[in-house]
Amino acid sequence: MNNTTAIKVGVLGYGGMAGYHRERMRKTGLYEFYGVYDTDPARQKAAQSEGMIAYPSAQALLSDKEIDVVLIATPNDWHHPYAIAAAKAGKHILCEKPVALSVTETKEMAQTAQEAGVVFSVHQNRRWDDDYIAARNIMNSGILGKIYRIDSFVCGANGIPGGWRKQLRHGGGMMLDWGVHLLDQIFDCIDARPLSLFCRYSKALGFDVDDGFDAQIGFDGALTVNVRVDTNTFVRMPRWILYGRNGTAIIDDWNVNGRIILPVYGTEIETVGIEAGNGFTKTMAYRPHQSVTEQPISRPEVDHDTFYKNFAAAVRGKEKPIVTPESVLKVMRIMELCELSDKTNTVIKEIEKEL
């Protein structure tokens, strides 16, 4: 491989996610999908009809010297063995998330890749979601003053996706499906020291994997982050709420609809109370309209192909991977602590020492 030819990709697991990757990676002009191995004969035939080699085994794919990169897009429990085999075969590795099922597996994958001298990165694509970038921009702008609470919600009403995602042995459940993204976003944008964590899983739908969870993480500087995933919520929930000393921001959805609400300074406003249930309150009353101002949230300009471009540059030795093994290992450890907190119904303290 040289810096002018397309990077040849071999795919392990040619399902829906692999098809998604193929379209996105081809669009960059940096990759060529060369061959596939899938345990499903129908997917093998589909690969052949699309002009790719259908290998008889994973080992046959890994043995082909034409392949530069192995894309692992299998059920989660196969990420670890395939990544180890790919590294030992001298192939660069692009792995679907979650990277593995445990910290132990993740460490072995990273170490094997390092020893083999190959690039190993994980598809944490939601670092380039418009809503996340918009939320991060608001946090960094200072417009809300000191941020003391962040709510990050992803809630739907269609239950756990079908197939292996409902099975514990394959690494199913919403913590590994969505938690891995939302926790990655939080630890990508917050520099403060994490102090404590409390998490409860939901199994309301009756499967042996979680159908959602609530995780509360305390950070140094009196910052609390609430991450919630639920697959049985029948009302629309905001994607983000950012609470600051000087204002509040709400991002309603992935399209960055929302608003920033700020107080109007310099004008004395009488606090008006409201009837609150079987009582009266001024403390919990909303501010009158003339005492606040609202402004829309600017949709950021985001290159949604950044991950693929960076990975190609890393394979060619021009850049370091943005999504590093260290960052995915940290998120994997946080998810393990969430599971421990749920099982023991306890707050995990001094979590920085665990990372």
Q: Please tell me the predicted confidence (pLDDT) of residue 267.
A: 66
Per-residue pLDDT of the chain (355 residues), as tens digits, is 667 799 999 999 999 999 999 999 999 999 999 999 999 999 999 999 999 999 999 999 999 999 999 999 999 999 999 999 999 999 999 999 999 999 999 999 999 999 999 999 999 999 999 999 999 999 999 999 999 999 999 999 999 988 888 988 889 999 999 999 999 999 999 999 999 999 999 999 999 999 999 999 999 999 999 999 999 999 999 999 999 999 999 999 999 999 999 998 766 777 788 888 888 888 888 777 778 899 999 999 999 999 999 999 999 999 999 999 999 999 999 999 999 999 999 999 988 877 7
CB atoms within 10 A of CB 54: 20
Q: Please tell me the predicted confidence (pLDDT) of residue 284.
A: 82
Phi-psi region of 288 (alpha: psi -120 to 50; beta: other; left: phi over 0): beta
What span, in angstroms and rounded, lies between the C-alpha atoms of 63 and 43? Answer: 20
What the block records as the tokens of 28 is 């960059």
Q: What is the pTM of this model?
A: 0.93
Q: Please tell me the predicted confidence (pLDDT) of residue 353.
A: 79
Q: Please tell me the predicted confidence (pLDDT) of residue 69.
A: 98
For 125, the enclosing helix (H) or strand (E) is: none
Largest CA distance in the chain: 76
Q: Please tell me the predicted confidence (pLDDT) of residue 1.
A: 62
Phi, psi of 9 (to 5 degrees): -110, 130
Look at the block and give the residue holding tokens 């004008």: 267
Q: Please tell me the predicted confidence (pLDDT) of residue 164.
A: 87
H helices within the chain, ranges in order?
Answer: 16-28, 41-49, 58-63, 79-88, 103-116, 130-141, 174, 180-189, 306-315, 325-344
Indicate the residue type of 63: S
Q: Quick check: 41 and 17 in contact, CB under 8 A? A: no
Helix-, strand-, coil-residue percentages of the chain, each rounded to 5: 35, 25, 40
Q: Quick check: 10 and 74 in contact, CB under 8 A? A: no
Closest listed residue to residue 324, CA positions, set 338, 309, 335, 310: 310
CB atoms within 10 A of CB 46: 17
